[in-house]
Structure 1
Amino acid sequence: MSALLELKNVKKHFPLKSEKILSRDKPMLKAVDGISLSVKSGETLGLVGESGCGKSTAGRVALKLLEPTEGEIWFKGEDITNYKGEQLRKLRKEMQIIFQDPYASLNPRKTIEQTLAEPMKIFGMPKVERIKRIDYLLDVVGLSSYHKRRYPHEFSGGQRQRIGIARALSLEPELVICDEPVSALDVSIQAQVINLMEELQDEFNLTYIFIAHDLSVVHHISDRVAVMYLGKIVEVGESNELYTNPQHPYTQALLSAIPETNIHKEKERVILKGDLPSPANPPAGCKFHTRCPFAEEICRLQEPGLKTVSEGGQMAACHFAKEVMMEKVLT
């Protein structure tokens, strides 16, 4: 299975206003600070972490909605890092996004038909084909053709997200970035939307990057999972392996926060101390050491790189992954 999308040492830094106008060192918010990821054709890569870890920014950079500060973006074997103008416009057919807030992402002054037709118009699809395509899209996302005359405020949150999914699929893309697509929905509706997305993935051979902070949802839909902390990937691996044998203490803490459904089973919690540091002034060494219950002197001085910690290819950025970490957790 070939890589559809690759990020190579990608960074996205935002300049901050500074009182030191004459200073050469401009303060920067390091939202994404050197990540490398690959997404295979037809798979779902879950991207998880706390709010502010940089996962949504990473998704927007991958789509070229934001220009990377450094690094390379490869899509279908081509370097698209410097694509602009017509090159980038053509690329939009193959790469789409589903937003977190289905209401905010829909124009309240346009009918659903107008919303779905807009990208098709831009790429020159004839009106007759547009009408057929709109009816088809509404049907595959579980709505009816008579819904197309309505406006966004006439739908529930779950229905609006189905419309957002239909819009993302309007140009038959290969890659869809799902930016927390169910976090604004009720739990019962979340399951319906997740099941719909899985069905559509099989039907249209879609590749997903599924961004979320709810690890139980990510586990359900993802083939592989990457965990982000302060703009860095700290662990990545096959979904089942990462969930059953997490090697990074941050991943362990996130997984321990998932509610236990078995009332007869006790679950040990890993409590993180302190707040998430500012990405404008991240800690030296391992970025997680200020909150890590296992941090030692080397963690404060030296930043660990991702290293393979299992035969299945699981990787973790921790000085003590595999050799020491699990022993410490069990004692």
Structure 2
Amino acid sequence: MSASARIPHLVLTGLLLSPLAMAQADEDRPIEHILEPRAITDQIHYFFGSLENRTETNLGMNNNVGFVITDKGVVLIDSGPSHHVAQRIEQAVAEVTDQPITHVINLGSQDHRWLGNEYFLSQGAEILALERTAATQAEFARQHLDRLTDTLGDAAMAGTEPRPAPSPIAGDRHDFELGGVRFEMVHAGDAHFPGDILLHLPDHHVVFTGDVVYTERMLGIHPWSNPVEQLKAFETMASWAPEVVVPGHGEATDLATAQRDTGDYLATLVREVREGLENWETLDEVVARLADLPEFQHLRHYDDWHRMNVNRTYLFMEANF
């Protein structure tokens, strides 16, 4: 059977959803709706996080979380934003398979990607993360936990203890096989956060990108982000020619959509800011010149993030190139 034949119709036609479906996707969906598994193949599923910011409605899960069912257990891709949500993720996975969650891969260091680690460790799962990812998690742990508690409240975050991987993996890549499925964990540079990774499932032509790729909503560049490395990571991902891209935010889609919403945007920022620096344009001049990019205005939160992204790309490239 071809790879495309294994992929459900919904994924292949994700850009042709009905107006009602698109409206529902735009809403801040409650956690019980987020935790309705979406199948990519018989073995690979994901939970479609809210496109809104972290709220009491989505319990901080405004990112995608995936899972892969193997013959020797389930590999969870990110552990959620809290002890409570991690429990609910486990329950949602159990509705699809009797296999236990034996491994949890951390794609990155933002709160909603790893603050559920402690729960899964208590259930006997192994946490798989690169050393640089675990180091960034430890650095940001208190800040992220405090901010999420302020947003969601003490009750939602009760029992949550930041726990980076106890035995993180040295190097920039970790390939392993479990239950007949091959996994490739590849360092994505500092990207959105230092230590972000891409997860490639080569036999299934699927990539989980973490925060290297956003679709439907505008990506964010932080003071600690590296937009140049993020663009290189995107290009690495694209070179694998995946048939399904599961972004950090936005529905599972194809490479062309990921290119439109993230690859083209990063390439535009890096190219235009580099040109501005070479021409001795000031920060204000570059921000003004790039203030309105119509080809990206379809992205949710464009008005909140775009000018800030230009600003931070300029400051980063001014200091590093």
Provide the TM-score with structure 2 as the length reference.
0.33
- Going by fraction, where is helix more abundant, 1 or 2? 2
- Give the structure, 1 or 2, with the largest relative contact order (CA under 8 Å, sep 6 or more): 1
